[in-house]
Amino acid sequence: MSAQILQGVRVLDLTNVLAGPFATLHLALMGAEVIKIERPGSGDLARQLGTLVEFNQQGMGTSFLAQNANKKSVTLNTKSPEGKEIFKKLAADADVLVENFRPGVMDRLGLGYDVLKEINPKLVYCAISGFGQTGPDAKKPAYDQIIQGLSGEMAVNGDERLNPLRAGFPVCDTVGGLNAAFAIMAALYHCERTGEGQFIDIAMLDSIMPLMGWVAANLLMAGREPVPMGNDNFTAAPSGVFRTADGYINIAANKQEQWESVCDILGVPELKTDERFEKRDTRKHNRKQLTPLLEAKLTQRGTKEWVELLNAHGVPSGAILSLAEALAQPQVKHRETLKDVEVEGIGSIPLFNLTAKFSATPGDITAPPPRLSAHTEEVLAGIGMTADEVAELKANNVI
């Protein structure tokens, strides 16, 4: 197998649940050695989260399994004097540290960035939190649901019948994790060129807002408040969800020539010169009049037939799949988005692989999510601790 792009990079991962583990998962999939520092006895809360009770009881909940492939698990009580010293030794040899505690927690432990950078000036220290390390809301607790509401994301979803509307997955957590991974990669590049580590402050609130760029730009630059439009795309018409004979179809005729092709394919060429629909902006304004005219034709055939016909003529279209159908579709299988991974005591499970395809340094799942403390002895031996010393630490509940 080719060398991976982060091979030789050591990451101390103190994160829990989702945003932080999602960031370090991407580093692990690119070949970094990610050492997950967990609380003795319980570990990451995600170990108890998931729909399969028997997995939760093993400390291997589905939420944990989804985010922690390729990582090593070390249990360490960082509140104990011995635990602090061990942690400092680990930090001295690390390239990256990632944590998602509330601001100030690591400082109170005596393990904040100001302490660790004296031990390791090259350390890239990334702190992920709901609101960031500074500002009037910095100390407030935050979950994805809270950030979805405070970011305006929920306000732009839904329609006149259902608004505000939460996204169906923890989008703020996951984009916060991606933002952190992106920033860590940039900081590692800077460190390679200069030998200088640094502190990275990632806020979930900051991370999600730029994703609403076009919607926010209309408000910030044009003073135009977003109007919840459900499944319609505010930038064009016809662009959204339409009924067919056996379900629904997504059509995105965002260009004028695509609109004209839709008219020809559906057998309504007269709409091309109808003053209500002839030009892009008037079509958008009159979309509620346009949709039933199109659906009168679309409901005469099934979704699959329309998708093939529209795509063949350069009009982007697609079926609206269930999650199960989406995960099983041939394109997803071809791209190897999922990989079957054998987990001891559980069996073979499908996990998401690295979706960035590197030609020279491909990422991959090379190890299953770890059992709690599975690598404690290995990692401590790596910093020179003997078996007797490890046994004493275990007896004293340090590990």
Q: Which residues are catalytic?
A: 173
**Per residue in 17-32, is it b (16+ CB within 10 Å) or e — as a string?**
bbbbbbbbbbbbbbbb
Taking the C-alpha atoms of residue 342 and residue 347, their distance in angstroms, rounded to an integer, is 5
Residue/partner pairs of 238-243 with CB below 8 Å, 24 or more apart: 238/262, 238/283, 238/287, 238/290, 238/291, 238/294, 240/287, 240/291, 241/320, 242/291, 242/294, 242/295, 242/298, 243/295, 243/298, 243/299
Cα distances (angstroms) measured from residue 228 to each of 152, 163, 224, 389: 12, 7, 12, 61
Query: And the tokens for 132?
Result: 């960031």
111 burial level (CB within 10 Å; 0-12, 13-18, 19+): buried
Half-sphere exposure of residue 281, counting CA atoms within 13 Å on the CB side?
A: 0
